[in-house]
Amino acid sequence: MRRLAPTPAASGFTLLEVMIALAILAVALVALLGLRNRDVELQAYARDVTRATLVARQMALTVDADGTPEMGFTEGDFGTDRPGFAWKRQVTPFMAEFLGDRVREVRVSVLWGVPDDHRGPEEGRVEVSRFVEVR
């Protein structure tokens, strides 16, 4: 009696192969969506850093428009113009032991976000320093 050769397996994918492929695709899509969300967060943070830097530079440059800035610490917010942003300004003598009171350092900080609130936007801070000659 002659034996018949086994028939070749039907071409195509098995159910197990399809399930593995779908699992790999699902993991890849979840990772890509996570990256996209992080990209949106980083773009918003970069926008806030740019705004804060421009405002801090402007405040530091115009601090002596009315003459010599007064020594001390002041702070405030920008109201409805820039909601969520606040500023701090500190004026101190610079190298007083060598220069006396001829040069003052003006340090402007712009802050945004809510500290220690993981549900809200990330807290940020930009500082700009400028040195002003006393007139």
Structural domain contains residue 4 = no
- Helix (H) or strand (E) segment spanning residue 61: helix 15-62
Structural domain contains residue 124 = yes
Give the HSE-up count for residue 133: Cα atoms under 13 Å, Cβ half-sphere: 1
Structural domain contains residue 67 = yes
CATH of the domain at 41: 3.30.1300.30
Structural domain contains residue 9 = no
Count of domains in the chain? Answer: 1
Q: Specify the pTM.
A: 0.64
Q: Give 73-121 pLDDT, tens digit per residue.
A: 888 888 888 888 888 999 888 876 676 777 888 899 998 876 555 555 5
Is residue 92 within 8 A of residue 104, CB to CB? The reply is yes
Is residue 121 within 8 A of residue 114, CB to CB? The reply is yes
Please give the residue that has the higher pLDDT: either 130 or 23.
Answer: 23
Please give the radius of gyration of the chain, using alpha carbons only, rounded to the nearest integer.
Answer: 31
Q: Give 33-66 pLDDT, tens digit per residue.
A: 888 888 888 898 888 889 889 888 888 888 777 7
Residue type, position 80, single letter: T
Structural domain contains residue 76 = yes
Structural domain contains residue 37 = yes
Structural domain contains residue 7 = no
Structural domain contains residue 77 = yes
Parent domain of 24? 15-133
Helix (H, G, I), strand (E, B) or coil at 82: coil
What is the number of other CB atoms lying within 10 angstroms of the CB of residue 98? 8
Mean pLDDT of 25-37: 89
The pLDDT score that the predictor gives to residue 76 is: 86
Residues near 27 by beta carbon (within 8 Å), at least 6 away in sequence: none
Q: How far apart are CA 135 and CA 68, in angstroms?
A: 6
